[in-house]
Chains A and B, each alone.
Chain A
Amino acid sequence: MLEIKDLHKRFGDTVALDGVSLTAAPGEVVGFVGANGAGKTTTMRIAMGVLAADSGRIVYDGAPLDVAARRRFGYMPSERGLYPKMKTAEQIAYFGELHGMSRAEARRSAAALLEQLNLTERAGDFVQDLSLGNQQRVQLAVSLVHDPEALILDEPFSGLDPIAVDVMGTALKDRAADGAPVIFSSHQLDLIERLCDSVVIIGNGKIIAAGSVEELKAKEVKQLRVCVQTAQDLTGAFPGTVTRDGDDYLVEDADDQEVLRIAAAAGRVTHFAYDQPTIAEIFREAVTR
């Protein structure tokens, strides 16, 4: 269980974080969503210990997160960085060793990741000679080389090609299936929806919405979408607030069973369901509220 508790951070006069808390249970994939400058990166940097919070705590399995425990974490910073003049396999293995692996273990793990990422033939090349996409894959390998027991990834999907996105998604799911808490930020909300068990939305340094994907969707559900094959205009017939969306009626603040009765009486009901908002819609709603 990874708990980020009540983080506050100021940069000069700017309040970057104002009481940010979020939790990732073992095996839970948490999507961290927010506009640019909302405080995602600051939160993750503090969680990884590369930035100090003004106040607040990071707790892992009931104890304050220390250097030794952090070393078993996998981290991908938003600003990607690799040694340009170091060979690919050597570099991945070096990070494995820094995370406490023996040299042999680190080399094995690096080779396995390169294989998985289709980079085996570039193992002996300098990182600076790889394409940007391939450098991203190496970055991914660096964050996974030590078989981390928790993952904190800042925009792990940005700049990845579809194959690497799949590898990354699979890696996240695999780690979560092993019981690792996973927190990642992304602007690709479809990915968040596909991969995450829960979502945390941050805006201006504050958490503005958090919960499982279902919870959030349920909370946002207000509109009943009804489609009836009839010549009548039912706008005035339905209770509540009624708007039209093409041929569909969107009904809010009404008893759904009553709406159904009226619709069935008017003609053949071809669609009757609450609109499931996408995470993107929830996000827009939460941020503009």
Chain B
Amino acid sequence: MSAQIPETSRLRGLMLVAGREIRVRGLAKSNIISLIVTVVIVGVLAALPTIIGGGDDEDAKIGLTGATAPAMQAQLEAMGGFDITVYDSAADAEKAVADEDVEAAVADGALYSRDGVANDVETQIDSAWQAASVQTNLANAGLSDQEIAGALTVQPLEFVTLESGGASGPLDYFTGLIISIIMFMMLMTPVQYIAMGVVEEKSSRIVEILLTSLKPWQLLGGKVIGLGVISLVNLVAMVAVGLGVTAATGMLGDLPPGTASAAVSTIGWWLIALVLFGTLAGGVGSLVSRQEEAGSVLTPLIMSLTLSYLGAIFLLNAPTSTFAKVLSIVPPFSAIAMPTRMAVADVPAWQIALAIGLLVVAAAGALALGAQLYKRSVLYTGSRLKLKEALRRAA
């Protein structure tokens, strides 16, 4: 007889299933291609500000002439990004523009250009012109350089917010929006793939062979883990490229503070929500035997996910409303609503704790329900099983 084959440990079975999902689905050409496309889009989007402001890389060539020229040159050089040529006369400057030696020229209070200048360049030249004119006027009025410098120095406005947790800044709004979109996508995709995978195994009857060496919970759990890992890897790739490009173009400093901690806590929320939605998706997926029927049993799940997302978007505009408070505590909506709300408003710790507690309880319930549904109906073939029937069936 053949040598004793070591028993597959429970964990190994689970990991084998997860590993297969990752290899077959994660490394599938379609997934790789869609990931590459997404990553390229993210990369381009991240680089877009730099690409559009392309002139930033190359200094704008500006010609100057007239009495204000020295003051303007000092102003523009202080701003940076300008390559300045001083001409003797307005005619020379105008000719330089016409010959394309410079992009624009300031002469006698006029801005010469061939067909207009970029907005930001115009703004800078304009403010330099104003400052230089004031400076020149003040100097003509007999003020010393020091007095002029003193007169021109203005403290920028300081922002003071009286109500903390009140109206959120546009940056917080943006963070909240990103969190809700990512949470939605990161749940929707695995939920659909888990259900599809369950139906595939059921419709191809392969589940009958699988269940001779695996327990139903290993098969279901492995799917949730495998597709979770794929989603996470896709997200990490996108974020890494996004951040990488932003860092490479020197705009990383603009990220709102607390981004890292928000990202970590969002992943925590996502993990609990994945257990909740993923196991339910597997459970309801096992009710049907054909791929075409999968959509109908998934509808309630997709609906509650979509509602959670829409609720979170609504919440962004009214983070302190009762609706926002309730939505961010009641599962399954809290999975998306709470991390979104946390991004735009200060949430009392007890509410966060309550939301986590309720979501964990809901996820545990979903795990039990989904696993039971799956166990009872995965070998049943034929027409779609009614939920009640499935629950009544002996496991």
Contact present for B214 and A98 (CB under 8 Å): yes
Contact present for A100 and B5 (CB under 8 Å): yes
With A and B bound together, what is the CA distance between A180 and B2 in angstroms? 10
Interface mask (A35-67 → B, CB under 8 Å = 1, otherwise 0): 000000000010011111000000000000001
With A and B bound together, what is the CA distance between A101 and B5 in angstroms? 7
With A and B bound together, what is the CA distance between A52 and B212 in angstroms? 12
Query: In chain B, what residue has the closest Cβ to A71?
Result: B213
Question: Residues of A contacting B211 with CB < 8 Å?
Answer: 49-50
Question: Residues of A contacting B2 with CB < 8 Å?
Answer: 147-149, 178
Contact present for A70 and B204 (CB under 8 Å): no
Question: Residues of A contacting B381 with CB < 8 Å?
Answer: 79
With A and B bound together, what is the CA distance between A148 and B4 in angstroms? 10
Using a CB-CB cutoff of 8 Å, which residues 71-96 of chain A contact chain B?
Answer: 71-73, 75, 77, 79-86, 90, 94-95
Question: Residues of A contacting B24 with CB < 8 Å?
Answer: 83, 85-86
Q: Tell yes or no: B292 within 8 A of A by CB.
A: no
Query: In chain B, what residue has the closest Cβ to A69?
Result: B7
Question: Residues of B contacting A45 with CB < 8 Å?
Answer: 208
Q: Tell yes or no: B61 within 8 A of A by CB.
A: no
Question: Residues of B contacting A94 with CB < 8 Å?
Answer: 16, 20
Q: Tell yes or no: A8 within 8 A of B by CB.
A: no
In this complex, which of B16, B201, B209 has the most chain A Cβ atoms within 10 angstroms of its Cβ?
A: B209
With A and B bound together, what is the CA distance between A94 and B206 in angstroms? 13
In this complex, which of A77, A143, A179 has the most chain B Cβ atoms within 10 angstroms of its Cβ?
A: A77
With A and B bound together, what is the CA distance between A73 and B211 in angstroms? 12
Contact present for A98 and B204 (CB under 8 Å): no
With A and B bound together, what is the CA distance between A146 and B379 in angstroms? 24
Question: Residues of B contacting A164 with CB < 8 Å?
Answer: none
Contact present for A79 and B23 (CB under 8 Å): no
Question: Residues of A contacting B213 with CB < 8 Å?
Answer: 67, 70-71, 95, 98-100
Contact present for B209 and A77 (CB under 8 Å): yes
Interface mask (A149-188 → B, CB under 8 Å = 1, otherwise 0): 1000000000000000000000000000011100000000
Q: Tell yes or no: A252 within 8 A of B by CB.
A: no
Q: Which of A67, A75, A97, A179 contacts B16 (CB 8 A)?
A: A97
Question: Residues of A contacting B201 with CB < 8 Å?
Answer: 81, 83
Starting from the known contacts A100-B8, A179-B1, 7 additional A-B residue pairs (CB-CB under 8 Å) come to: A49-B212, A50-B379, A70-B213, A71-B7, A79-B205, A98-B213, A100-B5
In the A-B complex, list the 8 residue pairs whose CB atoms are closest, starting with the nearest: A81-B206, A81-B205, A79-B205, A147-B2, A100-B5, A77-B208, A81-B204, A100-B8
